[in-house]
Amino acid sequence: MKNFLYGTLSIIILLLMTSFVFDENKSNNSQDFEWVIAPRFYTLKEGVSKEEARKWLENEYIELYREFPGFNCHVGEVVSSSGWSTPNDNFKEKGDFVMVYFFDSKQARDYYFPEDGSWSEAIQKGIAKHQSTFDKLFGKYFIQDKYQNEEYMMFAKSK
């Protein structure tokens, strides 16, 4: 009976300690994780259809980002957009497409695009390797004067 009580007490203590360690790790991981997102808004040139641009983005342009560790790109198109006073979803100032660039950390973002405004050697080599594709971005498909560039440091997430 004595051994049974000691065994049961030991198991309870072990379970309490384990649950505390897992809770501590869970809270630390979400607080220490910071990443950067950089949405880029693109407006189509006149005469370019959304279907043509979407096909090019999916099949040619987005492929380029697979070779950069810690740097990813998602592409989407406007579903609805409205300003404060336009509830009818016809406000299109953000463009026709959005590309959201994800950097695993601020260090990854600074590695590829240092704060001095230069581009890393890895990005320069990637552009040189796929120069014809990069030339089409503003040369054939999108209007550079309407390009919007924003970056956000993300520090928390719901899940």
Summarised one tens digit per residue, pLDDT across range 36-95 is 999 988 999 999 999 999 999 999 999 888 889 999 999 998 776 665 555 555 555 678
Contact indicator for 61, 142 with CB cutoff of 8 Å: no
Query: pLDDT tens across 1-52, in order?
Result: 655 555 555 555 555 555 544 444 444 454 567 899 999 889 999 999 999 9
Q: State the Cα–Cα distance between residues 10 and 29, nearest whole angstrom.
A: 29
How far from 22 is each of 18, 25, 31, 124, CA to CA, in Å? 6, 5, 15, 43
pTM above 0.75, yes or no: no
